[in-house]
Chain A
Amino acid sequence: MSTPPNSAESTEVLLERCIQGDADSWAVLVERFGRLVYSVPARAGLAPEARDDVFQVVWLLTHRHLSQLRDARGFPSWLVRTAQRETWRASKKINRDAAGPSTGPVQVLAWADPEQAERLERLHQVRAALDGIGEPCRSLLTELFRSDSAGYTAIAERLGVPRGSVGPTRARCMERLKGAMENNGLETEHRSNTTSS
């Protein structure tokens, strides 16, 4: 535990350091998986205060169970499942408080949803892979899909590369992305039931 953690440290190493009480590694871990955790209550439609509460509870539980969470590959799944359960609890309480004693069964906003969990984990892994391949690949690959994308010419100007090289460079970057995704345990081989919109 002599060197401070950095954002490129593997999750496995971060978890081990967190288990040994290294607060700096914990901060990196929260930063790395914060969006994954927060996306669960956010997508369930909880109000910002309730989202923040769920977020805190999930990280408190994570810290409490750290010594049992050494499996870096299973860690994102554990986070999402815990966030789903806490979101479900929070939404149940919100509905109960709003409904009062005389009304019927409450409608629960969120629930354990394996499909949602798988999708969120996949998006997290893609973002991690994108971060891992560095620049200019990251910008080349993301610029195209931004809703305000300005087209090839603007991308080429912004990145300082000839317009004609954007396509071939981006194709090579995509190969690197595939490699990084596979290293993160994400399947890139075609599966007929996993296309997304």
Chain B
Amino acid sequence: MEHPPIDPAALNDLALDAVAKRLNGESPADGVDDALSNTEAGKSALQVAEILAEAVREQDGDMPPTHALRKAQAIAGTSPLARFSKELDKLASGARRIVASLDLDSRLSRPMHSYRGATEATQLAFSSDACEVDIELDAVGEEWCITGQLSCDADESWSVEVISASDERLECLDRFRASTTTPFTTRVPEGVFFLLLRRGDTLVELGPVIVP
């Protein structure tokens, strides 16, 4: 039997009913399926109703148990970045904070067993929208030498702060300027550090850098 043309406003309700009936093992009224599938609006309404039905009827087994959820939520609280987030926010003093991506940490790609006595500098590469920074860490006696090279679109001068994150507080160990043509060098003891690069109202955060 041919179904009369459907009022476009009623398409949605008709589609919802048709899908619900089918899910319950019933057949939609004669001609409803045909009428819905004869127009693009009808097909679209039917498709949305089908996706909706699927989402509603999903199994509860997909829900993570509360203990798993809480454990995953606690992950962030243990990272140095999370521990010092509020302090770093204060140091930004209203500047736009950009946390640079760590693209390379040579310690992660190094063989597990190196030759005895062989010392190898650690290479780190950070990138952000504002600039890229390559860093090398070398042991110098009891200290570590950080050498950095900036790459930016233009030869921009940046203020660099070396921030120690030891003892649950932040402390500025060194402050200097650097640019694409002026690499920087500084020395730090073992520990956790952030390098803050400032230029105008932009603050690029590198870290946490864990030395060694």
Name A's B-contacting residues (CB within 8 A). Answer: 1, 18-23, 26-27, 30-31, 34-35, 37-39, 42-43, 48, 51-52, 55-56, 59-60, 63, 67-68, 122-123, 126-127, 130, 141-142, 144-147, 149, 167-168, 170-172, 174-175, 177-178, 181, 188-191, 194-197
Q: How far is the CA of A16 from the CA of B5 in the complex (A)?
A: 50
5 contacts between A and B (CB under 8 A): A21-B76, A52-B65, A60-B75, A130-B55, A189-B40
Which of B23, B97, B99, B100 is within 8 Å of A145, CB to CB? B23
Q: How far is the CA of A60 from the CA of B75 in the complex (A)?
A: 7
A-B CB proximity, top 4 nearest: A21-B85, A26-B76, A190-B43, A21-B81
Any chain A CB within 8 A of the CB of B44? yes
Annotate B9-40 by CB proximity to A: 1 below 8 A, 0 otherwise. 11111011101100100000000000000001
Question: In the complex, which residue of chain B has the Cβ closest to the Cβ of A43?
Answer: B62
Q: Known: A56-B72, A170-B16. Is A20-B43 also a contact (CB below 8 A)? A: no
Cβ–Cβ < 8 Å partners of B20 in chain A? 144-145, 149
Which of B16, B50, B100 is within 8 Å of A174, CB to CB? B16
Cβ–Cβ < 8 Å partners of B82 in chain A? 21-23, 26
Q: How far is the CA of A49 from the CA of B55 in the complex (A)?
A: 25
Q: How far is the CA of A175 from the CA of B53 in the complex (A)?
A: 15
A149 to chain B, nearest CB (A): 7
Q: By the criterion CB–CB under 8 Å, are A145 and B44 in contact?
A: no
A30 to chain B, nearest CB (A): 5
Name B's A-contacting residues (CB within 8 A). Answer: 9-13, 15-17, 19-20, 23, 40, 43-59, 61-65, 67-69, 71-73, 75-77, 79, 81-86, 88-89, 97, 99-102
Q: By the criterion CB–CB under 8 Å, are B62 and A126 in contact?
A: no
Q: Known: A20-B88, A21-B82, A190-B40. Is A174-B48 also a contact (CB below 8 A)? A: yes
Q: By the criterion CB–CB under 8 Å, are B97 and A20 in contact?
A: yes
Q: By the criterion CB–CB under 8 Å, are B47 and A195 in contact?
A: yes
Cβ–Cβ < 8 Å partners of A59 in chain B? 72, 75
B82 to chain A, nearest CB (A): 4
Cβ–Cβ < 8 Å partners of A42 in chain B? 59, 61-62
Q: How far is the CA of A126 from the CA of B43 in the complex (A)?
A: 18
Cβ–Cβ < 8 Å partners of B73 in chain A? 26-27, 30-31
Q: Known: A34-B69, A59-B72. Is A145-B62 also a contact (CB below 8 A)? A: no
Question: In the complex, which residue of chain A has the Cβ closest to the Cβ of B68?
Answer: A52
Q: By the criterion CB–CB under 8 Å, are B9 and A55 in contact?
A: no
Q: By the criterion CB–CB under 8 Å, are B16 and A144 in contact?
A: yes
| Given contact pairs A23-B82, A122-B51, A146-B57, a sample of 10 additional A-B residue pairs in the complex whose CB atoms are under 8 Å apart | A38-B64, A55-B64, A142-B52, A144-B20, A145-B53, A147-B57, A168-B13, A188-B47, A191-B47, A194-B47
B19 to chain A, nearest CB (A): 7
Which of B9, B56, B72, B101 is within 8 Å of A68, CB to CB? B101
Q: By the criterion CB–CB under 8 Å, are A171 and B9 in contact?
A: yes
Q: By the criterion CB–CB under 8 Å, are B44 and A23 in contact?
A: no
The winner among B17, B69, B72, B73 for most chain A CB atoms within 10 A is B72
Q: By the criterion CB–CB under 8 Å, are A63 and B79 in contact?
A: yes
Q: How far is the CA of A167 from the CA of B18 in the complex (A)?
A: 13
Q: By the criterion CB–CB under 8 Å, are B58 and A55 in contact?
A: no
Q: By the criterion CB–CB under 8 Å, are A174 and B45 in contact?
A: yes
Q: By the criterion CB–CB under 8 Å, are B71 and A21 in contact?
A: no
